[in-house]
Structure 1
Amino acid sequence: MRVTVLAAMIGALCGAGAASCEEAIKIGAVYPMSGPVAYDGQTLLQGARVAVGEINAAGGIKGRKIELVVEDGACIPAQSVAAAEKLVSSQKVVALIGAFCSSSTGAVMDVAKRHGVPMVAGISTAPNLTERGNDYFFRIPATSAMLAKAFAKPMLKLAGGSKFGFLVVNDDWGRSIIDSYSPALTAEGASVVAQQIYDTNDSDLFPYITNIKRSAPDAVVLAGNTQNAVALTEQIRQMGLGSKFFGEGSFAAKTYYKLVGQKGDGIYGLMSYVYSIDNARNKAFVAKYQADYNDLPTTYSASGYNEVSVVADALSRADIADPKAIRDAVAQTDMEGLAGRIRFTKAGQGYGFNVYLTLSKDAQPLVADQAVISAPN
């Protein structure tokens, strides 16, 4: 009798709040929790957790909570692959998100396809990722090529001259910036006078900056996550390089400003997100993020939030037991993100949202220009 009564009580409780009784839906995140971009990986995770909390507080997905299961990929391709295999094979996740660095994302997307599990990336802007024919991979943000197409003309105008240099990190993302911005800028009348590529673990960047300075560029395109962006800014200011600067990465993040202060003033950012975006969803996200972490979100925080939000939106429309149905639901995404609509092309490339050209002033990012990313031709 006691067992029967207890079972009835549990059944009544589950009926009143099924999300607390059914097994959680697991989403697997391959994020850099260690290594040179671990700080950025932590802000990425914080943004993802805000989305998880928001969704679960609203009742979860079809009465079930979602659970974020995180493995450290460290932005090392081999480690990221091992992390993804563990998440899919052992944790039985229904989708993957990550893996931050383009080289690691390129490796993990093969795991996703092999296992038939959809993967959504919120960063990783190397253009070739969506050119590989992997129909289980979806990338939300604009690629470097899309940002270059959007902002090459205003960049040339703001540079005050036609000579451009590049100082970028030695990975798929950094090299893709040279490959993307060079033709976009030269099509507008610019010339490329210098290219310098540094390793992500380099702390002494003076030799690269010296080589750039010798070429006397009117403007320099930079690429760096927080650790590298801070080092670049500090050492460029010490060298007295008088060029204009345009940076992809962390050059408009609150964490960056905390470390460089007004030394970052005058640097332009090429961004998919800034925390000052004026729409209801972003305002709610910023408020919740500040309440949870006592800080403003970075572009990486927004990326984590968008990754989870896209997966959750797809799960709400799909048979959760059918990986192919989840993949198809992701492909049909048409939802409001933090910077506008999020949709995907047949190749899995996100479009429909705004991107931003920011100017740092008084250690704050001011929006100098913006553009809507249309579906690529």
Structure 2
Amino acid sequence: MLCCKRFPIIACLLLLAFWCYSTFAVAATIKIGEINPLTGRLAKQGSEIHQGVAVAVAEVNDRGGLNGRQVELISRDDQSQPDVAISRAEELCGWKKVVALTGGYNDSLVGPISEVAKKYEVPYVASASLQKQLTQRENPYFFRVANLHGFVQPLCGILSESLRPQRLALLHTATPGSTEFARDLRSCLQSRGIAVMLMEKFRPGTPDFTPLIAKLASMNMDVIVSSGFFADHLLLVRQLKENRVSPKAYIGPFGIAYESFVREMGENAEYLYSTFAWNPGISNPGTEVASKDFVERFRSMFHREPNTTNMHGYTSTRAVLAAMQNVLHQKKPLTGPNIRQSLAELDLVLPMERVAFDKHGDPHHYQHLVVQIQKGKFEVVYPPERSTASAIYPMPRWSQRK
């Protein structure tokens, strides 16, 4: 009799336990990881990638998450050091059990992370990776939204079709990505009849470019392409002015197309060329509304204008989230192999690019635009169908400027 009286209570407790378990299972968050250099020599760029990642996660969560489940972003700092990057990847993949990875800046950090991701079969979509070797290795879990081809082709185009320099200098830093860029650009230019008269490497953070400038002046170079970085351009351009060396064009594919560079250089930034894949007001045709929404959300979260590096973080994360959403729509579990397959089949139109990957994980449609700084603004000067202004070439000599 006592057993019968207790039965309804036990049944209720079991029902409550089942309801709680079911509710938890449905509402459980989906964990993704990001590893970026938030401190150390690459902290500025890594922080910008992180901000773009955060916007993408906030966007999907504000829309109700993935099939009603919120996305939990677990961020880690690799301190701009490869060994730390490996440790952080081991933590996220092995202990935190994230289902995917995003973020990443610089191939010296992205490469080690990709190997850990492969070991744990965790898909990794890198935000900023260029080195060709990384996608030539057998790693079905590695994808990226950028590559060198997207830089080389538009620069080769404007140099061979519009500027056609007689004496071209190609400078690059002693880093794998910059060196590969210089080699690929030289090869493309030579195939189109443009000779590179000087190809010279320098150390990132070089404190004095005077000897190199003397060499450029003695060879009477009319166009300088330098694949250095933000600080390298600041110093090299200033010392070109100090030494009254006036090339017809100065092109810096990395590090110039940022508002912070224009503010730092002031009027000396005028007429310089650079590239970007996206900028506020300049997006993949047909994505203007989505681009505007991204800009507004970014402003509300970080109280400044976004840049192309922020957009790379956003794009890689949107690719991860879209792939996971597709897996859930197919009523499959969010396993590494299922997400990897979904990424391989992805075709997603975003403000920076149409995201689709080849069999190696490289993007099919990543393409930069060539821009020139005119009156403090970035004007697209190549390709012609995307141009917002005509290129000013040759740029005025230093002595002719105010």
Same-fold call, TM cutoff 0.5: yes
Mark the CA change 1:213 to 1:174 in structure 2 (over 3 Å): closer, same or farther.
Answer: farther
Where 1:252 maps in the other structure, the secondary structure is coil
Where 2:128 maps in the other structure, the secondary structure is coil
Flag the structure with larger Rg: 2
Where 1:54 maps in the other structure, the secondary structure is helix
Query: Does the CA-based 8 Å contact 2:103-2:126 persist in structure 1?
Result: yes
Structure with more strand by fraction: 1
How many angstroms does 1:353 deviate by? 4.9
Partner of 1:287: 296
Query: Does the CA-based 8 Å contact 1:198-1:205 persist in structure 2?
Result: no
Query: Does the CA-based 8 Å contact 2:315-2:352 persist in structure 1?
Result: no
Is residue 58 of structure 1 aligned with residue 71 of structure 2?
A: no
Partner of 2:235: 231
Superposition RMSD in Å: 2.8
- Structure 2: gaps spanning 5 or more residues: 1-8, 386-402
Measured against aligned partners, the alpha-carbon deviations of 1:211-269 in whole angstroms (never above 9, x if no partner) come to 33433322122223434443343333333332212222221112222222232221111
Measured against aligned partners, the alpha-carbon deviations of 1:78-119 in whole angstroms (never above 9, x if no partner) come to 222222122212221111223211222222211111111111
Mark the CA change 1:367 to 1:66 in structure 2 (over 3 Å): closer, same or farther.
Answer: same
Is residue 81 of structure 1 aligned with residue 59 of structure 2?
A: no
How many angstroms does 1:139 deviate by? 1.5
Is residue 365 of structure 1 aligned with residue 378 of structure 2?
A: yes
CA distance in 2, matches of 1:210, 1:310: 47
Where 1:352 maps in the other structure, the secondary structure is coil
Query: Does the CA-based 8 Å contact 1:127-1:145 persist in structure 2?
Result: no
Worse-matched range after superposition: 297-306 or 97-106: 97-106
Worse-matched range after superposition: 279-288 or 230-239: 230-239
Give the alignment partner of residue 150 of structure 1, picking from 149, 154, 178. 154
CA distance in 2, matches of 1:282, 1:78: 36
CA distance in 2, matches of 1:215, 1:196: 13
Where 2:359 maps in the other structure, the secondary structure is coil
Where 1:161 maps in the other structure, the secondary structure is coil
Worse-matched range after superposition: 260-269 or 148-157: 148-157
How many angstroms does 1:191 deviate by? 1.6
CA distance in 2, matches of 1:80, 1:248: 27
Query: Does the CA-based 8 Å contact 2:170-2:225 persist in structure 1?
Result: yes
Query: Does the CA-based 8 Å contact 2:226-2:252 persist in structure 1?
Result: yes
Where 1:350 maps in the other structure, the secondary structure is coil
Aligned ranges 1:155-170 → 2 under 5 Å: 155-170=159-174
Query: Does the CA-based 8 Å contact 1:138-1:348 persist in structure 2?
Result: yes
Give the alignment partner of residue 192 of structure 2, picking from 188, 193, 211. 188
Give the alignment partner of residue 103 of structure 1, picking from 105, 108, 111. 108
Equivalent residue letter for 1:117 = V
CA distance in 2, matches of 1:134, 1:326: 14
Equivalent residue letter for 2:274 = G
Partner of 2:314: 305
How many angstroms does 1:194 deviate by? 2.1
Mark the CA change 1:260 to 1:112 in structure 2 (over 3 Å): closer, same or farther.
Answer: same
Partner of 1:90: 95
Query: Does the CA-based 8 Å contact 2:78-2:85 persist in structure 1?
Result: yes
Query: Does the CA-based 8 Å contact 2:46-2:104 persist in structure 1?
Result: no
Measured against aligned partners, the alpha-carbon deviations of 1:23-42 in whole angstroms (never above 9, x if no partner) come to 32222212111222211211
Partner of 2:396: none
Partner of 2:393: none
- State the aligned residue count: 364
Partner of 2:272: 267
CA distance in 2, matches of 1:259, 1:320: 50
Is residue 350 of structure 1 aligned with residue 359 of structure 2?
A: no
CA distance in 2, matches of 1:210, 1:259: 25
How many angstroms does 1:354 deviate by? 4.5
TM-score (norm 2): 0.82
Worse-matched range after superposition: 88-97 or 197-206: 197-206
Query: Does the CA-based 8 Å contact 2:299-2:305 persist in structure 1?
Result: yes
Query: Does the CA-based 8 Å contact 1:80-1:99 persist in structure 2?
Result: no
Query: Does the CA-based 8 Å contact 2:158-2:383 persist in structure 1?
Result: no
Give the alignment partner of residue 340 of structure 2, picking from 317, 321, 327. 327
Mark the CA change 1:353 to 1:106 in structure 2 (over 3 Å): closer, same or farther.
Answer: closer
Query: Does the CA-based 8 Å contact 1:101-1:123 persist in structure 2?
Result: yes
Partner of 1:241: 245
Measured against aligned partners, the alpha-carbon deviations of 1:95-149 in whole angstroms (never above 9, x if no partner) come to 12232112222222111111111111121122332222321111112x2234323
Query: Does the CA-based 8 Å contact 2:182-2:227 persist in structure 1?
Result: no
TM-score (norm 1): 0.87
Partner of 1:375: none
Measured against aligned partners, the alpha-carbon deviations of 1:289-325 in whole angstroms (never above 9, x if no partner) come to 1222222211110001001100000110124531100
Is residue 338 of structure 1 aligned with residue 351 of structure 2?
A: yes
Mark the CA change 1:90 to 1:133 in structure 2 (over 3 Å): closer, same or farther.
Answer: same
Equivalent residue letter for 2:323 = A
CA distance in 1, matches of 2:267, 2:347: 39
- Structure 1: gaps spanning 5 or more residues: 373-377
